[in-house]
Amino acid sequence: MTHAASLRTLLKTGEMVVAPGAFDGITGRMVASAGFPAVYMTGAGTSMTLGYPDYGLITMTEMVANAQRIVHASDLPLISDADTGYGNELNVWRTVQEFERAGVAAIHIEDQAFPKKCGHLDDKELASREDFAAKIRAAAAARRSPDFTIIARTDARGPAGLDEAIARGNLALAAGADMIFVEAPQSMEEVAAVPRLIKGPCLFNMVRGGKSPDVSIAEARQMGFAVSIVPGLLLRGIVETCDALLSDLREDRFPPDRSSPGALFARFDAAEWDERRTAYRDSSDGTPSSCAAAE
């Protein structure tokens, strides 16, 4: 089963899918090891791995390459940020096909004008409704498999209000989107209104310290969201941990050893790679050993 089909199967259960944010192979693997059913590739985190803020500075090919690494490392259905689709409807067509070819299960495309910025910052500018709908129509038509999920994200709440965001979400559904992502509703009442007023499945973005209130997983589930992404949890935790460790290092302080190098490698399939090497080296007559033959 493809990852896109796996995500569709998860969504059909009616249970809200929780997808923590990852930004590289390590964090993707850790999400999988923790037992989550899906992973989200954060655009902000991807930007920061290259040394940039989330200001629309990363290209489509850079985003796709990172998504492919996370898919490989996690072996989970990946929901990916695809920003504005990286141009007009023709660019969106190629964007969809490249992400789908990389094994991604779903992408979200937003209605900000270029250059975009993080959805929880001020002074966002919107593309027209017509341009947004054209991009979503192109995205729906470009996918090779109907299992590939198109999520339409609207950032209209900040510059134009919740009513405009709801209108754009329903417009995107009519244009062919499978799910709607209303970014940054600004109160618990607004958060709850989104799945009630949108005429299709909805995604909620759990951002602590942003424009939206702090909503728990249980609360989002009760409100009726189909998916909740948690993009910044690992990113913030790792940055803060690195700051603390490096500050200690400057004072010649080291944390207590929690694991050996071997134990760390074991989390990334070292035993399987050792078995492969042994299998191909142990056959003295050139015939693959039973382990190698089984592969």
Among residues 100, 110, 147, 155, the one annotated as catalytic is 110
The neighbour count for residue 196, using CB atoms within 10 Å, is: 10
Query: Distance between CA 131 and CA 276 in Å, rounded?
Result: 52
Is 81 noted as a catalytic residue in this protein? Answer: yes
Query: Distance between CA 286 and CA 89 in Å, rounded?
Result: 54
Is 240 noted as a catalytic residue in this protein? Answer: no
Contact 110, 139 (CB under 8 A): no
Is 183 noted as a catalytic residue in this protein? Answer: yes
In the numeric block, the tokens 């033959």 are attached to 293
**∠176-110-45 over CA atoms, to 5°?**
130
Is 118 noted as a catalytic residue in this protein? Answer: yes
Among residues 3, 8, 108, 120, the one annotated as catalytic is 108
Among residues 81, 100, 178, 190, the one annotated as catalytic is 81
Is 248 noted as a catalytic residue in this protein? Answer: no
Is 110 noted as a catalytic residue in this protein? Answer: yes
Among residues 3, 40, 98, 202, the one annotated as catalytic is 40
**∠137-12-146 over CA atoms, to 5°?**
35
Is 285 noted as a catalytic residue in this protein? Answer: no
Among residues 3, 8, 54, 190, the one annotated as catalytic is 54
Among residues 3, 8, 29, 83, the one annotated as catalytic is 83
| Count helices and strands in the chain by DSSP H and E runs | 14, 8
Among residues 3, 118, 120, 157, the one annotated as catalytic is 118
Is 272 noted as a catalytic residue in this protein? Answer: no
Among residues 29, 120, 137, 153, the one annotated as catalytic is 153
Active site amino acids: 40, 54, 81, 83, 108, 110, 118, 153, 183, 205
